[in-house]
Structure 1
Amino acid sequence: MTTVFVTGGSGFVGGRLIARLVADGHTVRALARSDAAAAAVTGLGAEPVRAHLADPAGLRDAAAGAEFAFHVAARTSGGSRAQFWADNVTGTANVVRAVREAGVRRLVHVGTEAALMQGRPLVRVNETAPLRSDSPASYPASKAAAEQLVLDADGSGIETIVLRPRFVWGAGDTTLLPRIKAMVESGRFSWIGGGRHLTDTTHIDNTVEGLVLAAERGRPGQAYFVTDGEPVVFRDFLIDLLATQHVTVPDRSLPYSLVNAAATTIEALWRTLRLKGEPPLDRMSVWLSGQECTLDITKARTELGYEPVTTHQQGLAQLRTPTR
C-alpha cells in the first residue's frame, strides 16, 4: 500500500478518512497543530506531523514520500474575511505548492457546494455551475477561490481533484449537530421560511467513500459532487436528526426575507464596529438552512463508480442515543 498525507486529520471528516485509509492498509501521515490534534491522529493509527497551513516548508516535509494527499483542513465559521482568506485560500495555495514540491502524485481537495452560493437557491445543479469567489459571504467566497487554485494547479507537476459533499452528518460530528441541538435547547432556533424546501445531504461514510474513489479513479482537473443519493425535505431531515438525541424541534418559523435582511445588517454592524466573536446571525447560515440545495451526482456515479454506502435510516440508527 501507499503513504498518504492528510490535512485536517483531527476533525470530523479528516478523522474518519484516516480511519478508512488505515483500515485499507495505507501508511498515513497527518498534519497536527496542537498536542490534542497529535493525540487524536495517533489514536487513529496515523503519524502526526507538527506543522500548520501557514508553514510551506513544514507542509513540504510532512508530505515527503506520500503518493496521495487529501486537503481537508478549512475554516468553516468565525473570523473576519481576511482570516477566511488566509486559512482557506493562502493555506490551500501553500498545500498545493508543498505537495507538488514533495513529489506527491495526486491531491484531493475537500470542496463544498457552498462555493457556488451567492444568495440564491441551488436547484439540481451539476459541476458546470460557476464558482462564486465574488460571494458576499466569506466562507463560500474563500472556498471558491481555494477550489479554483486547486483545479488550476492540475498538470503543473501534480494531479488535482476536488470532491464536494453537502451537509456532512453522522456519528462523531462535533460541530453541526451539537450546534443545532444547542440552538434548540436554548430557545434560539426557528425554521426559516417554514423549512419545507429540499436539500441534499452527505453522510460521513458516503463522504469518505467519495474521497477514496476520487483518489483512485478521479479524472485530473475535475470536481465531483457526492450526496446520499436523493434529496430530502430539510425540515423532516432535521427533525429526524435531532430526534436521535431526544430533542424536539419547536414549530416556530420566520420569513426568509426578514431573517436574511437581519443577517445582512448584523454582519455589517459586526464589521463596522469590529466586534469580537461570531455574529449571532450570518447570511451563510440563512442560505444553508433557508434555501433549496439539490445536486446532480451523475458525474460521480459515471466517472468514479460512486454510490452511497450508508442510507439515511442507517445513519440515523448509528446516531441514536439511549433514552435517559
Structure 2
Amino acid sequence: MATVLVTGGSGFVGGRLISRLVGDGHEVRALARSEAAAATVEALGALAVRGDVQDVAALRAAAAGSEIAFHAAARTSRGGDRAAFWADNVEGTANVVRAAGEAGVRRLVHVGTEAALMDGQPLVRVDETAPLRPDSRANYSASKAAAERLVLDAEGIETVVLRPRFVWGAGDTTLLPELTAMIRSGRFAWIGGGRHLTDTTHVDNAVEGLLAAAEKGRPGQAYFVTDGSPVVFRDFLTELLATHGVTPPRRSLPLRPALAAAAAGEAIWRRLGPAGAPPLDYMSVWLSGLECTIDISKATRELGYRPIKTREEGLAELTSWRAGQAS
C-alpha cells in the first residue's frame, strides 16, 4: 500500500477521499492549516501535518515519502476579490505542484471542476476538448482554470486532473446548508424556472474517479466524471432539499434579468469593495440557471470509470444521515 498526501482533507471531497484511502489500507498524510482541520483529518485516520498551500516548506515536508498526492484544497466561497482567489487557487496550486515534485511524489491528482470552462454560456454535452476559461468574469472559474492549466503543464511530476460536476452527498458542509439558509431567509428563487438539464456527481463517485485517475490516468490529461446521466435541475434540487425536510418556493426569476443583476452586483462589489458577496453573482446564476451536461466517455474508456452509487442510493443515504444528525 502507498503513502498518500491529501490537501483539503478537512473538506467534503477531501474528507471522503481520506476515509476511502484509509479503508483501502493506505497511509495518509493530510495538510491541516488549523487545529480544527487537524482534528478532523486525524479523526478520519490520517496523520495531520500543519501548514497551508502558501507554505512550500510545509508542503514539501508533508509530501516527503508520498507516492501519490491529491490536491483538493481550494477557495470556493462566493465572496472574496480576485487576488484572494488567485492566491489560494493558482499560487497555492503552483506551490503544491512544486513541493510535490521536489519531494519526489510520482503522481499528483488535482481536483478540478467544470466551472473552469464557464463564462456565462451553457455547457451542453461538453467533453475534455472544451477550452479552459482563465479569462472568465467569475473569480472562481478563472482561478480554477488557471490552476488546472499549470497542473497539466507541469514538468518533473506526473499530473492528472479529475473534474466532478455538482458534488453532493452526506457530509456536505457547503451546498445544502447554503441553499437551506437561502430558502429559510426568503432569498431563494429558481433561475429561469430551473427546468434545464444538469449533471451531478455523488461524492463517492467523485472519490472513485480520483482513485481511478491516480491509477490509470494519462499524465497531462483531464477527465470528467458524473453520476452517469443528466437530470432536470429543479427536480433533483427539490429531492435533495427534501432529504433535509426543506421545500423550495415556486418563485422564479427569468434568466436575463438574473444575469443583468449579477453583472450589476459584481461591478458594484468590485468598485466599492464591501465584504462578502453581492446578492446575486455570476457563479450562482451560471451554476443554477444554465444547462451543464457532461460527456464522460473519456473517463469510461481510459480510467474504466463507472459510478458506484446511484442517485437513489445517495438520496436515501442522505436522508438517513440527516436523521442521525438530528437525533
* TM-score interval, normalised by the smaller of the two chains: over 0.9
Structure 1 residue 216 corresponds to structure 2 residue 193: no
- Are residues 1:123 and 2:124 paired? yes
The 10-residue stretch of structure 1 (200-209 or 182-191) with the greater mean CA deviation from structure 2: 182-191
The residue that corresponds to 1:146 in the other structure is: 147
1-structure distance, mates of 2:278, 2:61? 38
Q: Residues 290-321 of structure 1: CA distance to partner in whole angstroms, max 9, x if unpaired?
A: 00000000000000000000000000001114
Identify the residue that residue 165 of structure 1 maps to in structure 2.
Answer: 164
Determine whether 1:205 maps to 2:198. Answer: no
Aligned counterparts of 1:310 and 1:200: Cα–Cα separation in 2: 14
Residue of structure 1 in register with 2:304 after alignment: 305
One-letter amino acid of the structure 2 residue matched with residue 18 of structure 1: I
Look up the equivalent residue of 1:136 and give its one-letter code: R
Report what 1:65 is aligned to: 65
Once residues 247 and 150 of structure 1 are traced to their aligned partners in structure 2, the CA distance between those partners, rounded to angstroms, is: 39
2:254 corresponds to 1:255: yes
Partners of 1:250 and 1:301 in 2: how far apart?
A: 38
Equivalent AA in structure 1 for residue 175 of structure 2: L
Offset, 1:157? 1.7
Aligned residue number for residue 102 of structure 1: 103
Query: What secondary structure sits across from 1:107 in the alignment?
Result: strand
AA in 2 matched with 1:97: R
Q: CA deviation at 1:280?
A: 1.9
Query: In structure 1, what is the equivalent of residue 185 of structure 2?
Result: 186
Structure 1 residue 187, shift from structure 2 partner: 1.1
C-alpha separation in 2, matches of 1:2 and 1:254 = 50
Match of 2:174 in 1: 175
- Distance in 2 separating the partners of 1:271 and 1:134: 16
Partner of 1:286: 285
Partner amino acid for 1:15?
G
Specify the alignment match of 2:43 in structure 1.
43
Q: Distance in 2 between matches of 1:25 and 1:106?
A: 19
Provide structure 2 residue ranges, at least 5 long, that are not aligned to the other structure.
Answer: none
> In structure 2, what is the Cα distance between the partners aligned to 1:260 and 1:166?
22
Task: Report the Cα distance in structure 1 between the residues aligned to 2:212 and 2:156, rounded to whole angstroms.
Answer: 21
**Structure 1 residues not aligned, in runs of 5+:** none
Alignment of 1:10-21 (within 5 A): 10-21=10-21
Give, in whole Å, the separation in 2 of the partners of 1:290 and 1:72. Answer: 26
Local SS of the residue matching 2:194:
coil
**Aligned match of 1:133:** 134
Q: CA RMSD in A?
A: 1.0
In structure 1, what is the equivalent of residue 83 of structure 2?
82
Note the C-alpha offset of 1:8: 0.2
Name the SS for the 1:194 alignment partner: helix
Q: Secondary structure at the match of 2:153?
A: helix
One-letter amino acid of the counterpart of residue 150, structure 1: V
Give secondary structure in 1 for the equivalent of 2:115.
helix
> Which residue number in structure 1 is paired with residue 26 of structure 2?
26
Q: CA deviation at 1:249?
A: 1.1
Q: Equivalent residue for 2:294?
A: 295
Deviation at 1:279, TM superposition (A): 1.9
User: 1:278: how far off?
Assistant: 2.0
Work out the number of aligned pairs and report it: 322
- Give the structure 2 partner of residue 5 of structure 1: 5
Q: Distance in 1 between matches of 2:255 and 2:277?
A: 21
Residue 134 of structure 1 aligns to a residue whose secondary structure is coil
Query: For structure 1, which segment, 271-280 or 248-257, has the greater mean C-alpha deviation from structure 2 after superposition?
Result: 271-280
Instruction: Give the residue type in structure 2 aligned to 1:161.
Output: V
Q: Please tell me whether residue 232 in structure 1 is matched to residue 231 in structure 2.
A: yes
